[in-house]
Structure 1
């Protein structure tokens, strides 16, 4: 199990229902990431919270998310078992700003950014952690970005924020489902996996020219490594 392999790590399990939550609990998960629902979302989060602490998830609609309004978000965040929220709007700075504003009324709850396309900016708006698809590759530079902001090294933060934005601009573009293959390309460009190990059988076919754009972005990130 994941718990056996990572005995000292916090394990957050994704879930879309009670049975999945119970399975995650029995497998040693520490918390749940609740996939959005439009079916009585407050009760849904409350029920999940009877199993494990819950991280709510605001996800953009094209990826299956639900545009929770302020009243719903406030009711979810008010639940004692909800310890925070992950926000992944894709490209809606205004939606992120709205939720970040709500979070000021819940200082004990964690705002987790899922914003690959504006990772650095989301930190300035109050995100204290990140759970991003871009983190699958070149993770050290993204960690350095978070640390630079935390340490108030703003010159370094601005530099790394721009670098991460360029990487996201090469990997998180339409068709959005292609980001998995693009991140595999980034891993190959880094030498982590072989060049021929980048197939995503469930993803869309991509223009081969995109791969060179990913390679160029990886070179930029390498040059900016602390």
Structure 2
């Protein structure tokens, strides 16, 4: 478990599809190489942003294998573990590690974890069973659908290979409470923000990094922003976020479901992807969203190559055949 997933920017990119809903591997491979070139600490696939829940088990494994092949050690690869029951989650975790995943993000067990309150011992047992089945670092995942009670992280921190929690509750108050709880654990685990609408603010609260879908674009700029925030260069960090924050808030506006096609439209506009197709039943992007993103690009100068995933226009790493 040599990989450090406790700080920096871990990108959770989108997954491109052809018009017929099949995975567009050539576009994916050239795109993902550019995300890595942008300096991502790691790349997380089979996440919500990459529509992991819409992929077959074989496709999830293919995503990890192909990503590893393309990156060829440029950065580690993490896989989401999505399952509504423990046995299925353990099997998925093992399958992703066998495919080459260097770490795992344990998604909440839905719908079991939706009703409140969630018993802490149930949460701990779920994570512990998955973590014990693999020999890689694991990251817990707090979402708006699964409000983990105060004290959960203190107990999860007792799991040896659980190294961090991704907070994507999209609540500033919850983010603050999570950071405060983790501060009392003497560095045992870290907080990675998954709150795309207030990434920098969450870092300034105390999150040591980000595991974030928005880093599927402007990766290099977000990496630089995190580095500046970590050393207290707040004005310089905000100079970047004042450009990118409006786009992040626009992509993650209601209905939240549509952030995937909005992000794909951003990448299409940047010349990275050929379309903004998501797997059905995800609807197509609306014309209103297209127009709003176009206006945002124009208002904030986001056509600058500095906001491409690699931070510049240059040849990507060689894609796998």
User: What TM-score range do you get, normalising by the shorter chain?
Assistant: 0.7 to 0.9
Q: State the distance in 1 between where 2:231 and 2:177 align.
A: 26
C-alpha distance 119-54 of structure 1, shift in aligned 2 (>3 A): same
Q: TM-score normalized by structure 2?
A: 0.63
- Does the CA-based 8 Å contact 1:175-1:204 persist in structure 2? no
Q: State the distance in 2 between where 1:81 and 1:192 align.
A: 36
Instruction: Determine the structure 1 residue equivalent to 2:94.
Output: 22
**Is residue 2:181 matched to residue 1:102?**
yes
> 1:203-214, aligned counterparts within 5 Å?
203-214=282-293
Q: 2:151 aligns with which of 71, 77, 81?
A: 71
Q: 1:128 aligns with which of 195, 208, 212?
A: 208
Where 1:188 maps in the other structure, the secondary structure is helix
Q: State the distance in 1 between where 2:155 and 2:297 align.
A: 42
C-alpha distance 6-193 of structure 1, shift in aligned 2 (>3 A): closer
C-alpha distance 27-207 of structure 1, shift in aligned 2 (>3 A): closer
C-alpha distance 10-222 of structure 1, shift in aligned 2 (>3 A): same
**Is residue 2:299 matched to residue 1:216?**
no
**Is residue 2:262 matched to residue 1:182?**
yes
Q: TM-score normalized by structure 1?
A: 0.88
| Higher relative contact order structure (alpha carbons within 8 Å, sequence separation ≥ 6) | 2
Structure 1 residue 25, shift from structure 2 partner: 1.8
> Which stretch shows the higher mean deviation, 129-138 or 96-105?
129-138
- Does the CA-based 8 Å contact 1:116-1:132 persist in structure 2? yes
> 1:82-97, aligned counterparts within 5 Å?
82-90=162-170, 92-97=171-176
Instruction: Determine the structure 2 residue equivalent to 1:48.
Output: 130
**Is residue 2:144 matched to residue 1:60?**
yes
Name the one with the larger helix percent.
1
> Which stretch shows the higher mean deviation, 199-208 or 157-166?
199-208
- Does the CA-based 8 Å contact 2:157-2:188 persist in structure 1? no
Query: Once the two structures are superposed, what CA deviation does each residue of 1:23-79 show, in whole Å capped at 9, x if it has no partner?
Result: 112122221100113382211111111113210000111xxxx11101222211222
Q: State the distance in 2 between where 1:201 and 1:86 align.
A: 25
Q: State the distance in 2 between where 1:21 and 1:221 align.
A: 41
Q: 1:36 aligns with which of 90, 108, 117?
A: 108
- Does the CA-based 8 Å contact 1:84-1:111 persist in structure 2? yes
Q: How many residues align?
A: 219
Where 1:79 maps in the other structure, the secondary structure is coil
Instruction: Determine the structure 2 residue equivalent to 1:11.
Output: 77
Q: State the distance in 2 between where 1:165 and 1:222 align.
A: 11
Where 1:87 maps in the other structure, the secondary structure is strand
- Does the CA-based 8 Å contact 1:137-1:187 persist in structure 2? yes
User: Could you list the runs of 5+ residues in structure 1 that have no partner in the other structure?
Assistant: none
User: Could you list the runs of 5+ residues in structure 2 that have no partner in the other structure?
Assistant: 1-64, 84-88, 114-118, 308-321
C-alpha distance 177-221 of structure 1, shift in aligned 2 (>3 A): farther
